[in-house]
Amino acid sequence: MSNRQAEIAKALGVVPPFADTAALSAEVERRKAFIKQCLHNAGVKVLVLGISGGVDSLTAGRLAQLTVEELRAETGDQGYQFIAVRLPYNVQHDEADAAASMAFIRADVEDTVNIAGAVSGLSEQVAHLHGLTDARRDFVIGNAKARIRMVAQYTIANANNGLVIGTDHAAEAVMGFFTKFGDGACDLAPLSGLVKGQVRSIAEHLGAPQKLVAKVPTADLEELRPGKPDEDAHGVTYAQIDAFLQGEAVSPEAYDIIVSTYDKTQHKRDLPFVP
């Protein structure tokens, strides 16, 4: 492991590879205990999470539902609830996967907020979008979608005196692969420190359908390329990112891409600049 690998892994709190099934189970229990502590510290009983159809929200959502079920059993308080919300932009191209995720999670409350109207209304009012190329405009509006989804989740959380869950993990954090103040905005991030393979392992351990566990990850924010794989944007694979974060050797090309991307996206992981 290089010094930079060690430095970055430490900064992101990367979890070592699971030694066996017992270690994986222990990590699941630790994550549920973390969620319980967050609720206790905030003095609230409701959790909210947007479900996209990808393995990250599927895993965080099932952990959240299991946690509130345990809290109800432990306390007898039926006020503990998990709200899973679908946030499509018109009709989602992988709608079947999103529906399958919801069926697996079995949330206490299921909701849907179609963000298309909000996105189009904002786009019509922002003159700065009009002179952009189609590709650049698509990218900018993609980030607006992520931020409007954040607003929808916080509106639901506020209405129910709850907390918003985020799905960021180490393999996305190192690449800055989230929209600042969009999907990067949350009250608690129960997958933090895990690499992508570990998220998949937890999902599989929890009994998620294999199709969803192995699904090609996509942020799915761009209309010109619906379902664009994350790895196309990264320039490296998640297997390479995971290996880098866990101290394994990667190709010089992959190493350079990961380190340079980490450095240039540091502002996303920091608090706002101040004098």
Q: Which residues are catalytic?
A: 56, 172
In order of 42, 203, 227, 237, 264, the CA distances from 216 in angstroms are 35, 14, 9, 11, 25
Residue count of the chain: 275
For residues 171 and 199, give the distance between their C-alpha atoms in angstroms, rounded to a whole number.
10
Closest CA to 98 of 108, 110, 109: 110
Adjacency order of strands within the sheet including 81-86 = 109-112, 81-86, 46-50, 162-164
The answer to whether residues 72 and 80 touch, using CB atoms and an 8 Å cutoff, is yes
